Chain A
Amino acid sequence: MNAMDISVTVNGRVIRDSVIPRMSLLDFLRDRAGLTGTHMGCEHGVCGACSVIFEGVPIRSCSVLAVQANNKEVMTVEGLSNDDGSTGILQDAFRDAHAMQCGYCIPGMLVASHALLESNPNPDLDDIKEAIGGNICRCTGYIQIIEAIQLAADRMTEAKT
């Protein structure tokens, strides 16, 4: 149980720290990196609230050890903002479509949606449902979240043309 030195690139910033093996990447991001946007929900790989982009793909940060992120790249929900700190297209779409009620699941939903739109700029309804299938929301019934993702996809397409 000796602490181990790790170096993790989070949202483009290199963070060096010393962690014990049992610390999850989720706890590292929240407690050590100070990035509390990533939410802790179930802490056993069921709810999706802690989703982050790890080496380019969405994963659940509660199910990865911090030591496994050594020399790896992570993007959290904070990484979706514009460089000046203002909210990005996807985040704005969630607000405009009233996609959040309590908001607890939203960081995970945003990360899952971001991963979807990166790989598929024009998702259909089934694509969206599949992409957020691993993220549980207890408030919205998912409808507004789906509408928000569709809105974001439309706005991103417009922005490119």
Chain B
Amino acid sequence: MKPAHFDYTLASSIDEAIQCLADGDGEAIILAGGQTLMPMLSMRLARPDMVIDINEIPELAGIEARDGEIVIKACTRQAAALSSPIVNEHLPLLAKAIGNVGHLQTRNRGTVGGSLAHADPAAEIPLAALALDAQVELRNVGGRRQLTMADYFVGPMMTARESDELLVSLRFPTVGVPARVGTSFHEVSERHGDFAIVAVAARITLGGDGTCQQAAVAFGGVDACPLRIDGLESVLTGQNINAKILATAVDLIDDAIEPSSDQHASADYRRRVARKLAERAIMEALADAKRDLG
């Protein structure tokens, strides 16, 4: 279990990294935290000619609150995001999601951008990003572009990122008065820290009268990509969410997802878990949003 030979470049800037990617002509790969790539190299599931290390690029690490958005730079460690005051104040859902990602040793090394770049359909960080309307910023030698999660995820471990593009940052719009926004993250996995069998991230924004102004409910592990269900969110929006409305909303899940069966769980089980976790996540997010309303 040793990687095949590869050449190695320690990039010192974003410009150097994207130039290396361009020169690599599709045979170069980015090494961020290495928590996925290193095992893939060891098992020779990945056999790049060139590994471009982005761990020492200062402009790729850190979390910033800017006007109307929170920017998490791609090589920010998951542990740093989890303990970040900015994340905990403005993006508590992301903190809740990262609490389920791997273990201390992997979060100390694994990065926020790396999880997005790998795009496992059951991964927690992509799910939170989808629920929070985040966008990814991609750069290559030709310029930069920003994609919504819906446009970014293409399939299981497949994204719209071209082989010469570097994922530079993840951008979260800040919305609402924080006190009126409630979030919840639930997952079922074989062991704590494993990839989820099914995960649900919910964010509920309430108006002053207690009705739901905006609902975002994202599902992972139930389809090729993390997904949101427009109809479900519409049912919740504008309502004083109660048991009846909740039931109407979660009834829409079954037709909207296409889970597969594998060694971890059957498709049927995933369907049942998705419904149950959605109920829990929505009600918990609702209670969270009401915590300061009395």
- Asked if A107 lies at the interface with its beta carbon under 8 angstroms from chain B, I say no
Q: Is B34's beta carbon under 8 Å from chain A?
A: yes
How far does the Cβ of B227 sit from chain A's closest Cβ, in whole Å?
28
Bound CA span A121–B163, Å:
46
Query: Does A88 belong to the interface (CB within 8 Å)?
Result: no
Chain A positions within 8 Å of B102 at CB level: 134
Cα distance A21–B52 when bound, in Å?
Answer: 11
**B39 and A63 within 8 A (CB):** yes
Cβ A60 vs Cβ B105 within 8 A: yes
| Interface 1/0 per residue, A50-76 and B, CB below 8 Å | 010010011110111101100000000
A residues less than 8 Å from B4 (CB atoms): 22
Q: Does B38 lie within 8 Å of A64, measured CB to CB?
A: yes
Judge whether B3 is part of the interface by a CB distance below 8 angstroms. yes
Q: At the interface with chain A, which of B5-13, B232-240, B242-250?
A: B5-13
Given contacts A45-B35, A62-B38, A133-B193, contact A115 B5 (CB under 8 A): no
Q: Is A134 a contact of B8 with CB atoms below 8 Å?
A: no
When the two chains form their complex, are residues A60 and B43 in contact, meaning their CB atoms are under 8 A apart?
no
| Interface size counted on chain A using CB atoms at 8 A | 31
CB pair B104–A60 under 8 Å, yes or no, is no
Q: Which residues of B contact A130 (CB under 8 A)?
A: 104
Asked if B1 contacts A44 (CB within 8 A), the reply is: yes
Q: Which residues of A contact B104 (CB under 8 A)?
A: 58, 112, 115, 130-131, 133-134
Interface range for B: 20 to 34
Q: How far is the CB of A61 from chain B (nearest CB, A)?
A: 10
Q: Determine whether A139 belongs to the interface, using a CB cutoff of 8 Å to chain B.
A: no
**B291 at the binding interface (Cβ < 8 Å):** no
- The answer to whether B53 touches A1 (Cβ under 8 A) is no
Residues of A within 8 A of B34 (CB): 63-65, 68
Instruction: Check if B7 sits within 8 Å of A134, measured CB to CB.
Output: no
Complex contact B53–A43 (CB within 8 A): no
A125 at the interface (CB under 8 A from B): no
A60 contact from B10, B79, B109, Cβ within 8 A: B109
Contact of B8 among A21, A43, A54, A57 (CB under 8 A): A21
Question: B130: CB under 8 A from chain A?
Answer: no
Q: Does B103 contact A (CB under 8 A)?
A: yes
Asked if B105 and A44 make an inter-chain contact with CB atoms under 8 angstroms apart, the answer reads: no
Q: Are B8 and A133 in contact (CB under 8 A)?
A: no
Q: Is B42 positioned at the interface, with any CB of A under 8 Å from its CB?
A: yes
C-alpha spacing A80/B225, complex, angstroms: 44
Choose from A1, A27, A51, A68 the contact partner of B105 (Cβ within 8 Å). A51
Minimum CB–CB distance from B110 to chain A (whole Å) comes to 9
Tell me the minimal C-beta distance from A136 to chain B in angstroms: 9
A27 to B42, CA, bound (A): 12
Contact call A134/B38, Cβ cutoff below 8 A: no
CB under 8 Å from chain A, chain B span 1-32:
1-8, 10, 31
Among A1, A43, A48, point to the contact of B42 (Cβ < 8 A): A43
Complex alpha-carbon distance, A95 and B132, angstroms: 48
**Which residues of A come within 8 Å of B, CB atoms?**
1-2, 4, 20-22, 24, 27, 43-46, 48, 51, 54, 57-60, 62-65, 67-68, 112, 115, 130-131, 133-134
What are 29 residue pairs bridging A and B, where the CB atoms are less than 8 Å apart in the complex?
A: A1-B7, A4-B8, A21-B5, A21-B7, A22-B4, A24-B42, A44-B42, A45-B39, A45-B106, A54-B109, A57-B79, A58-B104, A58-B108, A60-B106, A62-B38, A63-B38, A63-B106, A64-B34, A64-B38, A64-B109, A65-B31, A65-B51, A67-B8, A68-B34, A112-B105, A133-B191, A134-B102, A134-B103, A134-B104
The 10 closest A-B pairs by CB, nearest first: A134-B103, A21-B8, A44-B39, A63-B38, A1-B5, A57-B108, A22-B3, A43-B1, A45-B39, A59-B109
**Could you tell me which B residues sit within 8 Å of A by CB distance?**
1-8, 10, 31, 34-35, 38-39, 41-43, 51, 53, 55, 79, 102-106, 108-109, 191-193
Other than the known A45-B38, A57-B79, what 9 A-B pairs have Cβ atoms closer than 8 Å? A54-B109, A62-B38, A62-B42, A63-B35, A63-B38, A63-B109, A64-B34, A67-B10, A134-B103
